[in-house]
Amino acid sequence: MADEWLALNKENWDERASINMRSAFYDNDTFKAGRSTLVNDELNVIGDVSGKSLLHLQCHFGQDTLSWARAGASVTGLDFSPAAIAAAQSLAVELGIEAEFVVSNVYDAPTTLSRQYDVVYTGIGAICWLPDITAWAKVIAALLQSGGELYMVEFHPTEWIWGDKLTPEYDYFTPKAGLALHETGSYADPAAETKHNETVQWNHNLGDVVTALIEAGLSITALREHETHMVKVWDFLVDAGNGRYTMPAGRANLPFMYTLRAKKP
């Protein structure tokens, strides 16, 4: 079945939407009190977004989307999980923040939305759920207005390969069929009881991401690699501040994340 990956991943994320929303990892209480989840210098890099239309692809239950709205953007969040979108809509209403949330597969977004945006934003841990990065880049180009900008924050593709003891465990170049994984719980709450534990994921290397965006007609304006991580995936990582972690002094550092900017002519 060609779309089996989509059904498996959707079931997985539908089940985890409520788990994640309640988790200490997302800390919804402090978010409701005003905490911004845009902690990777997005607001300084992009600048004033007041009055700009911003689309957040794969928005989950909307914390980042609503953080952009608090910064002044006119926001739309899109995700393939109805459970996550329902949670995002509920959160927006509770906080009195104007935002549009739409259920859609990323690849169907141009048809579903039928409009273009000043900024398309995609956040951490998003593109590993998509099999075709070339088609993804064409979607980005279709969704941007002329002069519009893609801003991307992602886990670095080398981060993918390391196992629990920081030894190579997974291939850097993922097969076309993807990597089938079985994982109970959630990254936000590993102890949570879950039934839908099968997923299919892809590691998209930097060369493929950059080339796909260029071939889609976008101009890359910045690509930066970062030695901080959003998740304490190894016990020996140390607090780098603002919810990020890094290698301790004396250990060789690694690129854990990257940010990319691209413009539509």
- How many Cβ atoms from other residues are within 10 Å of residue 195's Cβ? 8
The whole model's pTM is what? 0.95
CA 111 to chain centroid: 21
**Which of the 8 DSSP states describes residue 129?**
G
The structure tokens listed for 230 are 């959003």
Residue 226 phi, psi (nearest 5):
-130, 145
Each residue of 158-207: pLDDT tens digit? 988 988 778 888 899 999 999 999 999 999 999 999 999 999 999 999 99
Q: With helix as H, strand as E and coil as C, how does 126-185 read? A: CHHHCCCHHHHHHHHHHHEEEEEEEEEEEECCCHHHECCCCCECCCCCCCCCCEEEECCC
Q: Calculate the dihedral angle through the C-alpha atoms of 227, 230, 233, 236, rounding to the nearest 10 degrees.
A: 50
What is the spatial distance between Cα 228 and Cα 6, in angstroms, rounded to a whole number?
30
The structure tokens listed for 178 are 């993807």
Each residue of 26-74: pLDDT tens digit? 999 999 999 999 988 898 899 999 999 999 999 999 999 999 999 999 9
**Rg of the chain (C-alpha set):** 18
The structure tokens listed for 27 are 């800390």
